[in-house]
């Protein structure tokens, strides 16, 4: 059964809330959703193709129907993988929303060396041949014949809160995007009153995440499968020296379907990706590849279909993302160095460096890869690099990003200009950086992870997405995660107010606003990224009673306000001054939140628990001089119960 047939046949099974969303997302797209017949044109030509992966990992692409890079992969050709049972073991673990599940823990890698040589000697990864088109199955054929397209059905009870008009406004628009009648995603927004949609008419990888989870939780996994495979085709496979071309392995921020002429009176549809070259600020997206890996894991865990993860093209695409993120550079920290505007906060907001949001998503993507990466002789160096980075990153964030009353008082008494391996103030933080608002804001029983850390700089703003994903991925310790939720509960009026949730707190104002944002008229204080309230963040709350309270609050206004992108003012009382209406991820985030609360067992599959095996991995390079100290003991000490 193909994805389109499933959507059509499952119409009567859907509760009214998800049915309205499904109709809004897909029934308005440009094609009738009839199953493609055998005469339909395929996405890819089946003539013989050869993808040569040279030893320096330079990839050669061939023209395709995508405005990107064609990759025809022999479905019969697989990695030489050992059975997954040899590398995984079940373990009962506590999860958010008060439920325990059997989690799959990745292998304990033996005989780990201290070197990190990602991608070397990986012959399966470096060279993939497809000869004469034999046994090649195109993307359309794979989708159409895949018997594991749809996951387990987990019907939800009908909405008891009379939210039957959810998506009523969206039903007037055309939020679904398809190519050759196959759904591949949802546009960011479809505001009927918007005369200049800019790039809101495109499919964003990050924006599609809550929509993907809504479909997964309802058993419509085929839609996410289409999305993952099509976005994989857009990934940059060429290593270039042109500063205006995407780096090898980069996933696009967004894409749109374009119709192009091929000959007389004939047209075809292509996917046109945007790697940031058209975006405001021209910044390449760092988080797209991380979200892609996270969604790949979610697909397998919810549907039970792990064949997608095992495909050679999917494994290759994941390796490219990891190699891009794990590449050696000048940075001394295990956190990922990025520019301003490279994530959900996609405008200048002073988050360049090592923003918490990216570190939390990076950690979640590494943990996802640790679960689903095919473990064999060719990938052992990459597995080693993942384990080492996970260990170092968790210690770094837990130790240096965490602040509570005790830590703030410690910073307040810091000595500066310390030169030694044993310095307490390792990043030369001057106590004068502590903002006046912070002293009385942090409660006695709460704390949080700061927004950024660099030499002589700590960004003490509370960034909601980074803190919530530190809980979701168990980047923080169990005690730290609990303290973050305590802070949200204690500071409910500041972080939630009239509409959940503040993207960051507090807003930067006055001269600080002019310097940090460059006088950005959209990021004025308490608006948009500068302290605005974003309903899409709602689905990531990890404490049941807080989630229920926030959902009830949002439910009162979202439909009535026509599903805005964000809200303004200190308390989130007004619809954002430049907020698009009928924002897809606002609706999808609300639906996903309700389904997670109502189906906590399924929701638990999307979260991570503490992985104690990581703490057994020594991340340091042992030195006879003793200058490099082992952090294993220090990392263990951060497990606070």
Q: pLDDT per residue over 428-469, tens digit each? A: 999 999 999 999 999 999 999 999 999 999 999 999 999 999
In order of 267, 363, 617, the CA distances from 393 in angstroms are 49, 7, 12
pLDDT average, residue stretch 151-169 = 38
pLDDT tens for 321-344 read 999 999 998 999 999 999 999 999
Percent over 90 (pLDDT), the chain: 59
Of 529, 521, 528, the C-alpha closest to 575 is 528
Q: Is the pTM of this model over 0.85?
A: no
Helices (H), 137-258: 139-145, 205-217, 221-234
pLDDT at 122: 40
Tokens 């749809």: give the residue.
150
Q: Is the confidence at residue 173, as pLDDT, over 90?
A: no
What is the SS3 string spanning 414-469? CCCCCCCCCCCCCCCCCHHHCCHHHHHHCCCCCEEEEEEEECCEEEEEEEHHHHHH
Q: What is the mean pLDDT of residues 149-177?
A: 43
Query: In the chain, what are the domain boundaries?
Result: 174-288, 289-634
SS3 state at 204: strand
C-beta separation of 130 from 49 below 8 A: yes
Using DSSP bridges, classify how beta strands 50-51 and 128-129 pair: parallel, antiparallel or unpaired: antiparallel
Q: Which two tokens stand for residue 87?
A: 């590398």
- Which of the 8 DSSP states describes residue 404? E
Q: What are phi and psi of 414, to 5 degrees?
A: -60, 140
What span, in angstroms and rounded, lies between the C-alpha atoms of 487 and 473? 19
Return the bridge partners of 176, or none: 186
Average pLDDT over residues 92-113: 36
401-410 pLDDT, tens digit each: 999 999 999 9
Q: pLDDT digits over 184-212, tens only?
A: 999 999 998 888 888 999 999 999 999 99
- Which of 372 and 623 is assigned the larger pLDDT? 372
Q: Could you give the CA distance from residue 507 to residue 484 in angstroms, rounded to a whole number?
A: 19
Work out the average pLDDT over 37-48: 31
**Top-tier CATH class for 289-634:** mainly alpha
**Closest Cα to residue 134, out of 74, 50, 44, 79?**
74
Say if strands 402-404 and 203-204 run parallel, antiparallel, or are unpaired.
unpaired
Residue, of 156 and 221, whose pLDDT is higher: 221
Nearest to 184 by CA among 3, 425, 365, 371: 3
Cα 533 to chain centroid, rounded: 19
């Amino acid at each position: 059964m193909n994805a389109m047939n499933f959507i059509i046949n499952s119409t009567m099974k859907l509760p009214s809330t998800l049915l309205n969303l499904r109709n809004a997302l897909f029934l308005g797209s440009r094609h009738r959703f009839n199953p493609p017949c055998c005469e339909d044109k395929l996405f890819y030509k089946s003539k013989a193709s050869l993808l040569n992966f040279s030893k320096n990992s330079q990839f050669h692409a061939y023209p395709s129907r995508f405005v990107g890079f064609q990759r025809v992969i022999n479905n019969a050709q697989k990695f030489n993988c050992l059975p997954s049972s040899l590398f995984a073991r079940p373990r009962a673990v506590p999860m958010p929303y008060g439920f325990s599940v059997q989690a799959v823990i990745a292998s304990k890698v033996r005989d780990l060396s201290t070197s990190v040589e990602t991608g070397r000697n990986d012959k399966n990864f470096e060279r993939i041949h497809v000869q004469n088109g034999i046994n090649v199955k195109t993307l359309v054929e794979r989708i159409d014949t895949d018997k594991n397209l749809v996951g387990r059905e987990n019907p939800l009870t009908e909405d008891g809160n009379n939210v039957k008009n959810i998506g009523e406004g969206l039903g007037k628009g055309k939020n679904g995007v398809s190519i050759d009648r196959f759904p591949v995603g949802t546009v960011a927004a479809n505001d009927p009153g918007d005369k200049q949609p800019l790039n809101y008419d495109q499919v964003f990888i990050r924006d599609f995440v809550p929509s993907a989870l809504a479909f997964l939780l309802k058993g419509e996994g085929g839609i996410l499968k289409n999305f993952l495979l099509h976005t994989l085709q857009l990934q940059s496979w060429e290593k270039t020296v042109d500063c205006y071309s995407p780096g090898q392995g980069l996933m696009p921020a967004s894409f749109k379907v374009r119709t192009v002429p091929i000959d007389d009176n004939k047209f075809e549809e292509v996917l046109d990706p945007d790697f940031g070259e058209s975006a405001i600020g021209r910044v390449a997206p760092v988080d797209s590849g991380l979200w892609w890996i996270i969604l790949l894991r979610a697909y397998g865990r919810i549907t039970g279909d792990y064949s997608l993860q095992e495909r050679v093209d999917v494994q290759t695409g994941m390796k490219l993302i990891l190699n891009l993120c794990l590449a050696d550079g000048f940075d001394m920290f295990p956190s990922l160095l990025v520019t301003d505007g490279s994530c959900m906060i996609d405008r200048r907001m002073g988050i360049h460096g090592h923003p918490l949001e990216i570190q939390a998503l990076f950690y979640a993507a590494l943990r996802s890869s640790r679960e689903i990466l095919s473990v064999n002789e060719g990938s052992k160096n990459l597995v080693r690099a993942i384990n080492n980075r996970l260990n170092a990153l968790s210690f770094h964030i837990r130790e240096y990003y965490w602040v509570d009353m005790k830590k703030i008082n410690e910073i307040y008494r810091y000595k500066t200009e310390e030169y030694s391996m044993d310095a307490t103030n390792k990043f030369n933080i001057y106590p004068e950086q502590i903002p006046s608002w912070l002293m009385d804001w942090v409660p006695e029983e709460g704390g949080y992870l700061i927004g950024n850390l660099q030499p002589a700089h700590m960004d003490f703003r509370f960034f909601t997405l980074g803190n919530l994903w530190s809980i979701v991925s168990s980047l923080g310790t169990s005690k730290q995660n609990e303290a973050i939720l305590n802070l949200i509960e204690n500071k409910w009026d500041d972080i939630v107010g009239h509409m959940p949730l503040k993207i960051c707190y507090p807003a930067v104002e006055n001269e600080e606003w002019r310097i940090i944002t460059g006088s950005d008229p959209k990021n004025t204080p308490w608006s948009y990224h500068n302290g605005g309230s974003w309903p899409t963040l709602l689905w990531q709350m990890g404490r049941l009673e807080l989630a229920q309270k926030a959902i009830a609050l949002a439910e009162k206004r979202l439909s009535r306000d026509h599903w805005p992108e964000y809200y303004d003012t200190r308390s989130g009382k007004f619809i954002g001054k430049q907020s698009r209406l009928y924002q897809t991820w606002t609706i999808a985030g609300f639906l996903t939140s309700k389904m997670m609360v109502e189906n906590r067992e399924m929701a638990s599959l999307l979260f991570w628990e503490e992985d104690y095996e990581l703490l057994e991995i020594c991340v340091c390079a042992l030195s006879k001089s003793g200058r490099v100290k082992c952090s294993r003991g220090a990392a263990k000490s951060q497990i606070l119960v």
